[in-house]
Amino acid sequence: MPEDQTLDLLVPAALEGERVDRALALITGLSRREVDELLGAGRVDIGRRPLTSRSRRVHAGERLVVHGSIEPVGPQAPEADPTVTVPVVYADPTLIVVDKPAGLVVHPGHGNRRATLVNGLLARFPDLAALAEGDQIDRPGIVHRLDKGTSGLLVVARTEAGRADLAAQLQARTVGREYLTLVFGHVESDEGLIDAPLGRSDIDPNRMRVQSSGRPARTRYEVVARYADPVPVSLLRCRLETGRTHQIRAHLASIGHPVVGDDRYGGRARGGWPQLPPGRPFLHAAELGLVHPVSREDLHFSSPLHEDLATVLRDISPSGPAQV
């Protein structure tokens, strides 16, 4: 691309509210260092005006104009990968429900182009490839996500109509999503609601924090059990009313009870306990309820704690794992 040319990029709906530097990296496939160099050189305009702040939030439909030569990569349709094992608990022509193992990224993105849940699903359900277009090009059928380190239930659409219907249910907050999590400390109230907006940290864009300018976020919780040994912890059942990035992890950390094993939000092992793998917080999507997009039947799915988390509970419950 000659130096006097420009690259005109449209901000997709999926990047609403992101910092402009992160959005630019995701759209182009450039590294954060390369994006910082572009911004530092004053080569990026937004809304026909020169960009002056890396932390400026972008909005769907805005245009980012990059001046000069770059090699945009951008999102690409993922390839099937039969080596990725995806535990499927339900499947029909409209949707798939999986029980995601911890450590598996849901869909390709910058730095994770292969070996994701989507790559594995494409090998088993090739029809998903028909949904890999537009904003969905790198995440066909995905309507919600789980963090890499979180295990449990996730629904994936197999048709565009199914995807639109499930997305509408999520927006209307009628999809039931319940998580089991172990947090440090004894949560005082037996139940409660954390109603606090979340936004990305200006210091670390990979971390969320409570801030008045953030997006609305609501998490309900109830205490299942409290334990004193080897350290004070509480087992909670959490229900999402919204679906923000890292919502449960950030919300619980904000009230002084970080998720056990969550290094990013202050849940590091204490006294060497527990011995969870790096990047594995004690967080499991245990219940999922939704209305079938075609039959309108109420569907409900349950997933027991995965063995690594059940082992942690056995360490603090001599009579065996708690009944949850």
Domains of the chain: 6-67 (3.10.290.10), 88-171 (3.30.2350.10), 176-316 (3.30.2350.10)
Pair of tokens at residue 16: 């609403």
For residues 36 and 241, which has the higher predicted lDDT (pLDDT)? Answer: 241
Q: How confident is the model at residue 320 (pLDDT cuts 50, 70, 90)?
A: very low
Average pLDDT over residues 179-207: 92
**CB neighbourhood size of 115 (10 A):** 14
pLDDT of amino acid 137: 87
pLDDT of amino acid 295: 98
**Structure confidence by residue, pLDDT tens digits, 127-160:** 999 999 887 888 999 999 999 999 999 999 999 9
Which residue of the set 21, 99, 147, 262 is catalytic? 147
Q: In this predicted structure, which of 35-39, 244-248, 287-291 has the lowest mean pLDDT? A: 35-39
- What percent of the chain lies above the pLDDT cut of 90? 65
Strand 88-91 versus strand 44-46 pairing type: unpaired
- What percent of the chain lies above the pLDDT cut of 70? 93
**CB neighbourhood size of 205 (10 A):** 16
**Structure confidence by residue, pLDDT tens digits, 7-20:** 888 888 878 888 88
Residue 147 catalytic?
yes
**CB neighbourhood size of 110 (10 A):** 18
Beta bridge partners of 301: 288
Q: Tell me the one-letter amino acid at 40.
A: G
Burial (CB count <10 Å: 0-12, 13-18, 19+), residue 85: exposed
pLDDT of amino acid 99: 98
- DSSP H/E element including 34: helix 32-40
